[in-house]
Amino acid sequence: MRKRFSTLAALAAAIVIFAAVPGQAHFGAIIPSDDIVTQQLKGDLALEIKFLHPMEMEYMEMEKPETFGVMHKGKKTDLTERLKPAGGKSPGQEKTDTFWKAVYPIRRPGDYTFYTEPKAYWEPAENLFIKHYTKVCVNAYALEQGWDQPVGLETEIVPLTRPYGLWTGNVFTGRVLVNGQPAAHAEVEVEYLNESAGDSGYIEPPFSPYVTQVVRADAGGVFTYAMPKAGWWGFSALSEADWTRQHEGKEKNVEIGAVYWVRTRDMK
């Protein structure tokens, strides 16, 4: 009896340990059809709004975001009504999960910062809610104005590197804000969107630390990362919200993430 109990306990402990080391990071994502709009663009800009593990290409079910919008020349426009559900899954996934699509006609020059506030996502493995405020910037007609302005979200990354027109190998530097203030020593997770690898195919991480890169911001909330491959890169700065949310009658912590996406291209 006693032996059986200890086996059970060991098994339970193993499960807990396994579950507590997810080895993969959740990322909110807004991926536009390109980060640059010129006269050569056919049709309108298409955007995909997702919640996924970018490196492992695993989707998570995403409810319709509370807000999806765009900021251009300091003016915010709500685009939530443009969201249309779509289904996505990685090669290894059985079930199709929901992500969201939107089309936005860009008619004027300047920088367009798209942003989304998703609904809080309950993550049983981490015993908390996850809410990733996500942004991406698209430049139109070579007028480079607006990318360095905050949107005013609960938490967000404000770029210090111009966030478009980046070469492979460039660094991306950003400042993490929580409630408008620099988030000192915030942890920033970095992942490559594996499905953006294109012709060169899927990148197989040799060991689990290669899945998610981790950098810690300095006292001013500033972090830097150099991107070694062409494609889309996501930066996710995590903080604990100063509010909680109920799950099955109990107050649970909320992890708020400030996520930013940039694209790199090879020099050739």
Partner 1 sequence: MKTRTYFLAAAAACLLLFAASASAHKVSVFAYADSGKIYTESYFQNGDPVANGGLKVYDSNDNLVAEGVTDNQGLFAFEIPRADDFRIVIDAGMGHKSSFILKKSRVKAAIKSGGQP
Nearer to partner 1, 139 or 264 (CB): 139
Does 126 engage in binding with partner 1 (CB under 8 A)?
A: no
How many angstroms separate the CA atoms of 179 and 72, rounded? Answer: 21
Does 141 engage in binding with partner 1 (CB under 8 A)?
A: yes
Query: To the nearest whole angstrom, how small is the minimum distance from the Cβ of residue 175 to partner 1?
Result: 20
Please identify which residue in 84, 108, 185, 216 interacts with partner 1, judged by CB under 8 A.
Answer: 108
Does 167 engage in binding with partner 1 (CB under 8 A)?
A: no
Nearer to partner 1, 48 or 144 (CB): 144
Nearer to partner 1, 144 or 187 (CB): 144
Running DSSP on this structure, what letter comes out for residue 260? E
Cβ atoms of residues 146 and 247 within 8 Å:
no
N-to-C CA span, the chain: 68
Half-sphere exposure of 201 (CA within 13 A, CB side): 2
Find the angle CA(195)-CA(264)-CA(214) to the nearest 5 degrees.
75
Query: To the nearest whole angstrom, how small is the minimum distance from the Cβ of residue 124 to partner 1?
Result: 48
Does 142 engage in binding with partner 1 (CB under 8 A)?
A: yes
- Measured CA to CA in angstroms, residue 202 lies from 112, 168, 194, 233 at distances of 30, 17, 6, 14
Query: To the nearest whole angstrom, how small is the minimum distance from the Cβ of residue 144 to partner 1?
Result: 5
Please name the helix (run of DSSP H) or strand (run of DSSP E) that holds residue 45, with its range, or none.
strand 45-53
Which residue bears the tokens 């799950």? 247
Query: To the nearest whole angstrom, how small is the minimum distance from the Cβ of residue 78 to partner 1?
Result: 23
Please identify which residue in 77, 145, 179, 200 interacts with partner 1, judged by CB under 8 A.
Answer: 145
Query: To the nearest whole angstrom, how small is the minimum distance from the Cβ of residue 211 to partner 1?
Result: 37
Please identify which residue in 48, 144, 154, 218 interacts with partner 1, judged by CB under 8 A.
Answer: 144
Cβ atoms of residues 240 and 253 within 8 Å:
yes
| Binding footprint of partner 1 on the chain (CB under 8 A) | 39, 107-109, 141-145
